[in-house]
């Protein structure tokens, strides 16, 4: 009886692991998918003057009209300047303490202007205006644009590419640091380090890997950022390279310990055969051992990439956070996790912005999941514990 209770309890707690992963997936999907199905302007109606022949606008056209980057004739409208009115510029016209009556009177008066374009809640819409349709394709907004300004009113821009490519760019640069240095350290520890120093070296790795990332980011901000700025004569030292240097450094222990383990487990037979043929220690390392652990090195690389892709605080603090497409190692970038950390706190629960951020989270989750499963799949069967 007690046996069944013990084992049953243990099994139940093991199942929480399945629940956790399923839960993460379910909640990210539940909160993220509305970014594909909802429109950012669900509570708003767009309308124009009745004499305006325009019937429908694409989201980009409409946004450009609001920003006055396009004029009415460009979209087949009248030859008059655009007068954009929406919830966020209304205040400029009527003051912040306007009564509903005053707002209504103001709206009714501007409704006479031929070039008017409004985006307002249905109840506020002056009855004399004619509603138009604004087309929104979530797919195009997310993947067809390279601009990220998710809080722009009334039509946000949620192009994912700057963030996605920013993440990949930082990960790539970080790996360029992590892989060679990590492998070099693994070789030193596995081949040349005196045994008495083996354990202290492992502890050193553990300490580096365990440093709080916010502290490393802070150090980078006060030491590395000014230094890079000075030595490369940059306008700002907050660049993709800054983040990659710190991230790469923090990920070296992971790369090194996985590679070291693999190096130490190369079959003795191979090593002795190599020495027997007259190979030197380094010839053996470079021509026999490294080729023998290729798949382990790939696993280590994948896991390191996953770690770098998911790291949040360092990037948030030192990478400049500019959501633009990265063009060089010295350009500022913004990554997926940094965007989540910076913006989710300000996005109202249930808003379009909130759902878009969860959609980003879903992408990040699936990306790291794929990397981890791939790493697991290429690990030789006998090493899966």
Residue 5 within binding range of another protein, rule CB under 8 A = yes
- Which secondary structure element, helix H or strand E, spans residue 123, and what is its range? none
In the complex with another protein, the residue whose CB is nearer, 195 or 384, is 384
In the complex with another protein, the residue whose CB is nearer, 33 or 113, is 33
Minimum gap (Å) between residue 35 Cβ and another protein:
13
In the complex with another protein, the residue whose CB is nearer, 67 or 280, is 280
Do 312 and 338 contact (CB within 8 A), yes or no? Answer: yes
Q: Which of 184, 273, 277, 378 binds another protein (CB under 8 A)?
A: 184
Please, which residues have CB within 8 angstroms of residue 299's CB and are 6 or more apart in sequence? 258, 375, 378, 379
Please, which residues have CB within 8 angstroms of residue 154's CB and are 6 or more apart in sequence? 40, 41, 44, 66, 86, 87, 88, 119
In the complex with another protein, the residue whose CB is nearer, 41 or 148, is 148
Candidates 17-25, 49-57, 72-80, 97-105 — which segment interacts with another protein by CB under 8 A?
17-25
Candidates 47-55, 97-105, 115-123, 373-381 — which segment interacts with another protein by CB under 8 A?
373-381
Candidates 59-67, 129-137, 153-161, 358-366 — which segment interacts with another protein by CB under 8 A?
358-366
Residue 358 within binding range of another protein, rule CB under 8 A = yes
Please, which residues have CB within 8 angstroms of residue 385's CB and are 6 or more apart in sequence? none
Do β-strands 83-86 and 157-158 pair in parallel, antiparallel, or remain unpaired?
unpaired
Do 185 and 256 contact (CB within 8 A), yes or no? Answer: yes
Residue 287 within binding range of another protein, rule CB under 8 A = no
Q: Which of 187, 255, 262, 300 binds another protein (CB under 8 A)?
A: 187
Residue that is written with structure tokens 């005196």 in the block: 194
Residues forming a β-bridge with 120: 45
Round to whole Å and give the CA distance between 173 and 152.
31
Minimum gap (Å) between residue 124 Cβ and another protein:
29
Q: In what order do the strands lie in the sheet with 83-86?
A: 56-58, 130-135, 45-48, 116-120, 83-86
Minimum gap (Å) between residue 139 Cβ and another protein:
22
- Chain positions 250 to 279 lying near another protein, rule: CB under 8 A, are 252
In the complex with another protein, the residue whose CB is nearer, 114 or 213, is 213
Candidates 24-32, 66-74, 78-86, 106-114 — which segment interacts with another protein by CB under 8 A?
24-32
Residue 213 within binding range of another protein, rule CB under 8 A = yes
Round to whole Å and give the CA distance between 232 and 331.
12
Residue 149 within binding range of another protein, rule CB under 8 A = no
Candidates 20-28, 101-109, 151-159, 322-330 — which segment interacts with another protein by CB under 8 A?
20-28
Do 301 and 204 contact (CB within 8 A), yes or no? Answer: no
- 212-247 residues labelled b (16+ CB within 10 A) or e (exposed): ebeebbebbbeebbeebbeeeebeebbbbbbbbbbb
What character string, x for contact with another protein (CB under 8 A) and - otherwise, covers 321-350? Answer: ----------------x--xx--xx---x-
Minimum gap (Å) between residue 140 Cβ and another protein:
25
- Chain positions 27 to 86 lying near another protein, rule: CB under 8 A, are 27-28, 30-31
Round to whole Å and give the CA distance between 24 and 362.
9
Residue 219 within binding range of another protein, rule CB under 8 A = yes
In the complex with another protein, the residue whose CB is nearer, 155 or 303, is 303
Do 246 and 318 contact (CB within 8 A), yes or no? Answer: yes
């Amino acid at each position: 009886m007690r046996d069944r209770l013990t084992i049953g309890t243990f099994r139940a707690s093991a199942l929480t692991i399945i629940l956790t992963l399923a839960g993460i997936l379910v909640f990210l999907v539940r909160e993220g998918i509305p970014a594909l199905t909802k429109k950012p302007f669900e509570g708003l109606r767009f309308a124009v003057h009745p004499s305006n022949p325009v019937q429908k606008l694409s989201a980009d056209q409409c946004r450009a009209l609001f920003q006055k980057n396009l004029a009415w004739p460009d979209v087949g409208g009248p030859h008059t300047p655009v007068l954009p009115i929406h919830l966020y510029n209304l205040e400029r016209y009527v003051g912040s303490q306007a009564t509903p009556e005053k707002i209504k009177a103001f709206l009714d008066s501007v409704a006479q202007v031929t070039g008017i374009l409004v985006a307002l809640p249905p109840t506020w819409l002056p009855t004399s205006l004619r509603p138009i349709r604004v087309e929104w394709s979530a797919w195009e907004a997310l993947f067809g644009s390279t601009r990220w300004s998710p809080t722009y009113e009334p039509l946000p821009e949620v192009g994912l590419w700057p963030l996605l490519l920013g993440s990949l760019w930082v990960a790539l640069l970080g790996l360029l640091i992590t892989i060679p240095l990590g492998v070099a350290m693994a070789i030193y520890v596995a081949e040349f380090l005196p045994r008495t120093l083996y354990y202290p070296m492992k502890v050193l790795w553990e300490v580096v890997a365990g440093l709080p990332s916010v502290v490393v980011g802070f150090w980078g901000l006060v030491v590395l950022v000014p230094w890079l700025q000075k030595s490369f004569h940059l306008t700002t030292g907050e660049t993709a390279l800054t983040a990659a240097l710190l991230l790469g450094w923090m990920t070296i222990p992971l790369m090194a310990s996985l590679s070291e383990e693999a190096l130490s487990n190369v079959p003795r037979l191979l090593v002795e055969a190599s020495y027997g043929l007259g190979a030197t220690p380094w010839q053996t390392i470079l021509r026999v051992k490294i080729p023998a652990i290729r798949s382990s090195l790939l696993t280590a690389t994948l896991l390191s990439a996953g770690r770098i892709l998911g790291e949040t605080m360092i990037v948030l603090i030192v990478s400049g956070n500019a959501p633009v497409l990265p063009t060089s190692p010295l350009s500022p970038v913004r990554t997926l996790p940094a965007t989540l950390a910076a913006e989710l706190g300000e996005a109202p629960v249930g808003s379009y912005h909130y759902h878009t951020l969860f959609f980003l989270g879903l992408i990040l989750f699936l990306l790291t999941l794929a990397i981890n499963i791939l790493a697991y799949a290429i690990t030789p069967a006998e090493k899966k514990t």
